[in-house]
Structure 1
Amino acid sequence: MIYRAAEKTIETERLMLRLFTEADAPEVSLLCNNYALYKSTLNLPYPYTLDCALSWISTHPQNFEDNRLYEFAITDKISGQLYGAIGLSNRSQHQNGEMAYWIGEPYWGNGYGTEAAQAIIEFAFQEKNYHRVYAQYFLSNPASGKIMEKCGMSYEGTLKNHVYKNGTFEDIVFYGLINPQH
């Protein structure tokens, strides 16, 4: 993982994590306007319009600048193809943050989520000196949990029937990781 602070980019073997731009909005809208993605995420609206994408992207620069939330586009390092998004909140008073991500359905199963998550965890620990990173997923979306496990995160608990979505209650599963340098 190579972090370039001036450009706000993170480079991995196959990926470039970078800030979103307005030019990404049509592709974000296309990838997010997907029921399969919507049902496995907590806060993604559906349908997901171009205005949703533009509104979401418009918040990123200030959040990053204020060290509130670091949100990156997950893109192919060579072609620039947008695969998804990954974000990391900053709870500085507790020296931790929550990692969240989504990958567009056409790109599922290629390891992009795992590669991006590993990079964000390194970013949190090495660049931002977090003590802990945590993440959560719907029990009905075990693929997201596999990403967390592959990144070395540990199961911390399940909140039963914690979220009501699509006419049903969903269990939320929590994973976390302590900075090995602390």
Structure 2
Amino acid sequence: MNLRSLTQADIPSIQRCASVRAIADTMISIPHPYPEGEAERYVLRRLAEFEAGLSVSFIIERKFEPAFCGAIEIRDIESEHSQAELSFWLAVEMWGKGYMSEALQPILRFGFEDLALNRLYAYHMVRNPGSGRVLQKNGFVQEGVLRQRVRKWGMFEDVKLWAIVHSDWQEAAA
């Protein structure tokens, strides 16, 4: 996998992939149908947040055949508390191939070393255990279940909260 910075050139790929119902089904913040122009709004917002030091977004591509596979970002960066949220998703055809675990390692290193964060946390809907497995496999610890935390398509959904702190990441990396 290759990671590269998000650019406006990614708008068509994000619009196409995020429009797939299976993506929206277990993503907290992706609506379905995905509105026309939503990818452009997303990219422009993330680029502005990057300029403000609040977010860093990467595109995941295959190494030998560059093609959009998904996105991973460190967002809601809180310098005062040295923490941020990790968010990620893959195009449906990339699921179950280990791509996210491969992408997560350099992102954790970037968050802890380059951004000097102490804590990264992530959420996923309880009915999306695959995201939980990726987080656990990469050293995250489940901190709790937030009951009925989000409403998705008229139904309240439970969400799991996971986190990894710098000292745990450092020990695992040693």
Give TM-score, length-normalised by structure 2.
0.90
Residue 161 of structure 2 aligns to which amino acid in structure 1?
Answer: F
Q: 1:137 aligns with which of 114, 124, 137?
A: 124
Residue of structure 2 in register with 1:41 after alignment: 27
CA contact (8 A) 1:17 1:73 kept: yes
Q: Unaligned 5+ residue runs, structure 2?
A: none
Q: CA deviation at 1:120?
A: 1.3
Q: 2:66 aligns with which of 43, 57, 80?
A: 80
Q: CA deviation at 1:78?
A: 2.7
Residue of structure 2 in register with 1:27 after alignment: 13
Matches within 5 A, 1:4-15: 15=1
Q: CA deviation at 1:110?
A: 0.9
How far, CA to CA, are the matches of 2:123 and 2:163 in structure 1?
A: 9
How far, CA to CA, are the matches of 1:158 and 1:32 in structure 2?
A: 26
Q: 1:120 aligns with which of 93, 104, 107?
A: 107
Residue of structure 1 in register with 2:143 after alignment: 156
RMSD over aligned CA atoms reads 1.5
Q: 1:64 aligns with which of 23, 47, 50?
A: 50
The SS at the match of 1:93 is coil
CA contact (8 A) 1:134 1:175 kept: yes
Residue 112 of structure 2 aligns to which amino acid in structure 1?
Answer: F
- Alignment deviations for residues 111-154 of structure 1 (CA, whole Å, 9 cap, x no partner): 11112222211111111111111101000100010110011000
CA contact (8 A) 1:161 1:170 kept: yes
Residue of structure 1 in register with 2:94 after alignment: 107
How far, CA to CA, are the matches of 1:107 and 1:50 in structure 2?
A: 23
Residue 164 of structure 1 aligns to which amino acid in structure 2?
Answer: R
Q: 1:92 aligns with which of 73, 79, 88?
A: 79
How far, CA to CA, are the matches of 2:159 and 2:105 in structure 1?
A: 21
Residue of structure 2 in register with 1:173 after alignment: 160
Deviates more, 1:124-133 or 1:75-84: 75-84
Residue of structure 2 in register with 1:17 after alignment: 3
How far, CA to CA, are the matches of 1:127 and 1:20 in structure 2?
A: 18
Which structure 1 residue ranges, 4+ long, deviate > 3 Å from structure 2?
none
Identity of aligned residues (%): 31
Q: CA deviation at 1:61?
A: 2.7
The SS at the match of 1:59 is helix
Q: CA deviation at 1:45?
A: 2.1
Greater helix fraction, Structure 1 or Structure 2: 2
- The size of the alignment, in residue pairs, is 168
Residue of structure 2 in register with 1:5 after alignment: none
Q: CA deviation at 1:51?
A: 1.0
Q: CA deviation at 1:50?
A: 4.7
Give TM-score, length-normalised by structure 1.
0.86
